[in-house]
Amino acid sequence: MTALPLHRTRAVRAPRHLIRILLTMLAVLAFAARPAMAQSILRDAETEQLFQDMMDPLTVAAGLQPGQVRVHLLGDRSINAFVAGSQDVYVFAGLIEAADTAEEVQGVLAHELGHIIGGHAIRINEGASAATGISLLSLLLGAAAIAAGGGEAGMGIMMAGQQAALGKFLAFSRVQESTADAAGAQYLSAAGISGRGSLTFFKKLQNLEFRYAVKQDDDQAYGRTHPMSGDRIQTLREVYVIDPAWEKPADPDIERRFQRVKAKLSGYMTDPDRTLRKYPETDTSIPARYARAYAWHRSAYPQKALAEVEALLATDRDDPYFLELEGQILLESGRPKEALPPLREAVAKSRSQPLIAATLGHALIATEDPANFAEAEKVLRTAVALDNKNPFAWYQLGIVYANKGDQSRAALASAERYNLQGGQAALALRNAEMAMQGLPQGSPDWIRAQDISLVARAEVERTRKRR
């Protein structure tokens, strides 16, 4: 009888150890576990098109269709990328900043594609299950030893089991990473892209490990989620140097566009003073002007920013992204009427690219001229038809509907917007139900509102149960 209270006390402590090991394993999977919605997704028409053009050859090489894998940019300065249980790759802004060439980024994309084709984000549960099984067994054996009077021995069994479980899980993760490395090398080869960039980027990661005193010996491999960088470089070099694409020159158009996007991102995310030091006015290249235009705009010097854009347009009057930037600067400087001509031209020359069309819709509404609202509705409806995952476009379209007195569709637009924003299920549900009350039952808009209502209601219920 005296063992019963002791057993019950230990039975309360044991699940805490299980929770600890499970939380440790989840922390190891930080990039896979963090949903994209928890990060700041940066959307830019030029960047997204470049990423798609960089990814599509790899996607085809892997046996998929062009456009089947999408690349998203996250506003995080970490040097990393991940997949999250879908055919979407998330690239951190810090990785783009750290990369010197487009081939380096393509090496990363090929690796992440290896994770997608291998179903690693889904199969990670296999590794977690095996590790949890070891942990549970050690908890039971430890609890039995404690109940029999061997307190220290029981705790030792539990701790050893946790260590073994974590080791099992990390080993599973390292195997997945090695598999993705090998698959990525195959996709680069089949796409005719040299592995030089892949090796160069791995070398950068190794240099970072050296800088932060991360040991590279075999004794340290046990506690790593990835194989040691030196081993990865050696293994991949043996594959890449004999590949027919090894000496193939990089695609000059992709590289040119990458340098533009890299500079644009730097101008957008970096402190303006640092950007202006990195890209002095003596540098008249297109990437430098791009970076300075953003830096001047962020520093509230619109005329200097516009001067850089004019210099860019002097090199190519038909570039839709230069025109978009001109319109953006004018709009965000409180000159929406002046922004309309370049934005209209950008939409036309980009074949109604949805992000650019959404900016034009915003400018049309910002003029506060009722005569512009019909055009705003047209371009915004086109924008959401081509890309229905842009909450800002839905917000602007809701303003148009509300202005014309169509409260039901304004509510539907708000429901679409809140449905895309994490943590807004209650607002999405409320607006979807409001829309359903005023829309013709059975109409496409009513059915869409019903779909959002069902999804949002389920999320609200899940949140309530968690609380």
pLDDT tens per residue, range 74-118:
999 999 999 986 789 999 999 999 999 999 999 999 999 998 998
Q: Is the pLDDT of residue 370 over 70?
A: yes
Per-residue pLDDT band for 205 (boundaries 50, 70, 90) equals: confident
Residue of 195, 184, 178 lying closest to 231 (CA atoms)? 178
Q: Is the pLDDT of residue 411 over 90?
A: yes
Q: Is the pLDDT of residue 308 over 50?
A: yes
Of 240, 258, 279, the position where a domain reaches its end is 240
Of 210, 240, 270, the position where a domain reaches its end is 240
Who has greater pLDDT, 191 or 33? 191
In a domain, 48, yes or no: yes
Judged by phi (left if over 0) then psi (alpha if -120 to 50, else beta), residue 89 lies in beta
Q: 1-10, 214-223, 408-417 — which is least confidently predicted?
A: 1-10
Of 179, 208, 240, the position where a domain reaches its end is 240
List, for residues 119-153, the tens digit of each pLDDT value. 755 545 544 444 344 344 444 444 544 555 555 55
In a domain, 354, yes or no: no
Over its C-alpha atoms, the chain yields an Rg (Å, rounded) of 27
Contact 187, 198 (CB under 8 A): no
In a domain, 278, yes or no: no
List the beta bridge partners of residue 91: 73, 81
In a domain, 254, yes or no: no
- Domain count across the chain: 2
What is the model's pTM?
0.80
Who has greater pLDDT, 220 or 415? 415
Share of the chain above pLDDT 70, in %: 76
Residue of 17, 21, 20, 218 lying closest to 127 (CA atoms)? 21
Range of the domain at 426: 406-467
Contact 230, 216 (CB under 8 A): yes
DSSP single-letter state for residue 440 = P
Q: In the prediction, which pLDDT does 153 show?
A: 52
Q: In the prediction, which pLDDT does 9 show?
A: 30
Work out the average pLDDT over 359-384: 97
In a domain, 312, yes or no: no
Average per-residue pLDDT for the chain? 83
Q: What would the two tokens of residue 250 be? A: 């990089």
In a domain, 367, yes or no: no
In a domain, 16, yes or no: yes
Cα–Cα distance, 249 to 220 (Å, whole number): 37
Q: Is the pLDDT of residue 397 over 90?
A: yes
In a domain, 446, yes or no: yes
